[in-house]
Amino acid sequence: MTTTVFSPTRRHWLGLLTASAVLTVAGCSTETPVKLANLTVQDLDGNPVSLGDYAGKPVAITFWATTCPGCVAEIPHMTALYQKFASKGVQVIGLAMSYDELGQLKAMVADKHIPYTVLQDKTGAAAQAFGPVRLTPTFFVLDGKGNIRYQKIGPFDTARVDQLLTELTTG
């Protein structure tokens, strides 16, 4: 049996990589608010929409793209969140990346019967403010103060998000 000895520097980097992987897989929360009032995106007709209009209530938001298979697979889960929590005041938003064309977005909304709000981050400013977001799908839950309570790259934990949104809408 051989024993591998890692230098302190290598152990440090391995620890950081492990912690990063755990947060990526499990989702995480912070108490850092996203300044929604400063962010303008556009609706599917190209009209400006202030994300500040969604402040004050919980928000479930995913950064996605029409060409991303994981994003398309996430649509039924986002739809389920909308169906369960929209009547309780949760804003459910699909925020398309800057490279998605409005025509593609409209076609996807129609084809997949997406009931929740779909907007486009045409300038990339929202993706920058949330991280920056570089990979899709990237999902967030914000509380009414704009604090990130859950963040996940890739498929989100539906049970955990359901529990969190229940807490945010009943307490």
* 40-42, strands of its sheet edge to edge: 48-50, 40-42, 117-120, 91-96, 59-64, 138-142, 148-153
CB 58 within 8 A of CB 91: yes
**Residue given tokens 């980097």 in the structure block:** 13
Instruction: Write out the chain's pLDDT in tens, 171 residues.
Output: 555 554 555 444 444 344 344 333 344 545 668 888 889 999 999 999 999 999 999 999 999 999 999 999 999 999 999 999 999 999 999 999 999 999 999 999 999 999 999 999 999 999 999 989 999 999 999 999 999 999 999 999 999 999 999 999 996
Distance CA 52, CA 37 (A): 4
- All structural domains of the chain with their residue ranges: 28-170
Q: How many Cβ atoms are within 10 Å of 119's Cβ, its own excluded?
A: 20
pTM value?
A: 0.82
Correct CATH for 28-170 of 3.30.230.70, 3.40.470.10, 3.40.30.10, 3.40.50.20: 3.40.30.10
In angstroms, what is the C-alpha Rg of the chain? Answer: 18
Q: Where are the alpha helices (DSSP H) in 27-130?
A: 69-85, 102-112, 125-129
Task: Give residue 128's identity as a one-letter amino acid code.
Answer: Q
